């Protein structure tokens, strides 16, 4: 899938909490992206604070070429499908962006349930 094709537009506003999560690349992704191998997986590089190296001044610097995981991720839909354990783990994290993603996901899941 190329950027723009069959994509749901997710208005994240000023929230980039998901840009602090590990992003696993598909085998055909990686051109123009900074990534590392972890075992048999390729993942986007992250800064010491956990943020994606492509998050620059609060914006995705590779938005047009971002991986599929970044294009299709919706924290509300994640929240609806995530296990209780996963949500609790994020909310208990020392990383404020992990807690923020769990909270944003809950808020956006509520909006999805209400049809907004």
Q: Is the pLDDT of residue 4 over 90?
A: no
Provide the strand spans (E) within 3-104: 35-38, 41-44, 55-56, 59-60
Is residue 12 domain-resident?
Answer: no
CA–CA distance, 26 with 21 (Å, rounded to integer): 16
pTM for the whole thing? Answer: 0.78
Is residue 67 domain-resident?
Answer: yes
Is residue 9 domain-resident?
Answer: no
Split into its structural domains, the chain has a count of 2
Is residue 101 domain-resident?
Answer: yes
Question: Residue 66 is part of which domain span?
Answer: 20-71
- Statement to judge: residues 59 and 93 lie in one domain: no
Is residue 1 domain-resident?
Answer: no
CA–CA distance, 98 with 66 (Å, rounded to integer): 20
- Statement to judge: residues 67 and 90 lie in one domain: no
- Statement to judge: residues 66 and 41 lie in one domain: yes
- Mean pLDDT for the stretch of residues 33-61: 93
Which token pair is 86? Answer: 């996963």
Is residue 10 domain-resident?
Answer: no
CA–CA distance, 79 with 106 (Å, rounded to integer): 6
Give the model confidence (pLDDT) of 57-114 as tens digits: 988 999 888 899 998 899 999 999 999 999 999 999 888 999 999 999 999 999 999 9
Is residue 5 domain-resident?
Answer: no
Is residue 6 domain-resident?
Answer: no
């Amino acid at each position: 899938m190329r950027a723009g094709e069959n994509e749901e537009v997710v208005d994240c506003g000023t929230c980039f909490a998901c840009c602090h999560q590990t992003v696993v690349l598909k085998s055909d992704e990686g051109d123009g992206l900074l990534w590392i191998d972890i075992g048999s997986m390729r993942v986007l590089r992250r800064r010491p604070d956990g943020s994606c190296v492509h998050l620059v001044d609060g914006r995705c610097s590779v938005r047009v070429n971002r991986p599929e995981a970044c294009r299709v991720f919706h924290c509300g839909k994640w929240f609806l499908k995530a296990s209780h354990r996963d949500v609790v783990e994020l909310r208990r994290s020392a990383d404020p962006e992990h807690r923020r993603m769990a909270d944003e996901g809950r808020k956006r899941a509520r909006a999805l349930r209400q049809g907004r």
